[in-house]
Structure 1
Amino acid sequence: MTKLESVLQALNNGEVIAYPTEAVYGLGCDPDNEAAVMALLAIKQRPVDKGLILIAANYSQLLPYVDDNAIPSEKRYQIFSSWPGHVSWVLPASETAPKWITGNFNSVAVRVSGHPVVQQMCIAYGKPVVSTSANLSGQPAITDRIELEQRMAGKLSAIMPGDLGGATQPSQIRNALTGDIVRS
């Protein structure tokens, strides 16, 4: 079994994985599996009410979670021209977006990544995955594979191989409706 196959099997089984992103290692799981998301949040020691980012290979994968009709036409160019890329956008959530993803919000944070490993994983999986930094909440993000393996020992079912993308900071998060920077 290839590493990709073991990652896909872990996702399908509702388990938590890690993978390289543009700047840091991320933790991920199936966004539609509440038990998987709760397991990921337990690893991070993060409350569900904060919401989570979804990362995808293309915007089409995000449509089940986003209320596309609620995105103003004058904002669409700025959003879509930043993808694939290193910007996460807070968009209006669809009525079917799980509350364990949106948290206490009527919006959902999403990103179409240009990272080749993320692209490969999301295309093979056929949908987005949860994307949150691989660290305990409030601690520095992990940028070293050995540190990832040590700090997350016994907590992950699979780690997607590959290098980080070379960005120096986690993705910027912007509110699509206001243009405000939520995280720089």
Structure 2
Amino acid sequence: LTSLPQTTQQEIIDCWTNHQPSERATTWLLPAGEHIPSWIKGEHPLVAVRVTTHPLCVALCNAFHGFIVSTSANPSGQEPAHSLQDACQYFGSQLNYLNGDLGQSQQPSRIINALTREIIRA
């Protein structure tokens, strides 16, 4: 976040800090520093970051004092997976799965470019 203006940094922190589990999440496209590996950012100058309030994900991150790198639970353009079985149908044995309850939000996250303020997904 340090490469962003202070007001933008605070907006992002406030968005994540004040997020309620039942609210729609926000994913921010942030500058991908040199420390971000290419297997995460590819050829892109930005990386998508979302802080979750999902209890299972929070517990997992806290257990190993780190973060999770993940993809959406659906291939691009397909409906989101709503169960472990749906995810397995999409991805089969390509992934490791952690079974648990879905989050409370009924909508995908909104996506905002932190540099341009462009709303990628409303």
Q: Is 1:111–2:44 an aligned residue pair?
A: no
2:85 equivalent in structure 1:
146
**Residue number among 47, 53, 75 corresponding to 2:8 in the alignment:** 75
The 5 A counterparts of 1:5-154 are 68-84=1-17, 85=19, 86-154=25-93
Normalised by the size of structure 1, how large is the TM-score? 0.56
SS at match of 1:112: coil
2:22 equivalent in structure 1:
none
Q: Is the 8 A contact 2:2 2:9 kept in 1?
A: no
Shift of 1:122: 1.4
**Whose strand fraction is larger, Structure 1's or Structure 2's?**
1
SS at match of 1:129: coil
2:98 equivalent in structure 1:
160
Aligned length: 116
Q: Is the 8 A contact 1:91 1:110 kept in 2?
A: yes
**Which of structure 1's runs of 4+ aligned residues deviate more than 4 A?**
none
RMSD: 1.9
SS at match of 2:58: helix
Shift of 1:91: 1.1
Shift of 1:126: 2.5
Shift of 1:151: 4.1
The 5 A counterparts of 1:165-180 are 165-180=103-118
Equivalent pairs: percent with the same residue? 40
1:33 equivalent in structure 2:
none
Q: Is the 8 A contact 1:90 1:176 kept in 2?
A: yes
| Distance in structure 1 (CA, Å) of the matches to 2:2 and 2:48 | 16
The 1:152–1:104 alpha-carbon spacing in structure 2 relative to 1, beyond 3 Å, is: closer
Unaligned stretches of 5+ residues in structure 1: 1-67
Opposite residue 108 of structure 2, the aligned amino acid is P
Unaligned stretches of 5+ residues in structure 2: 20-24
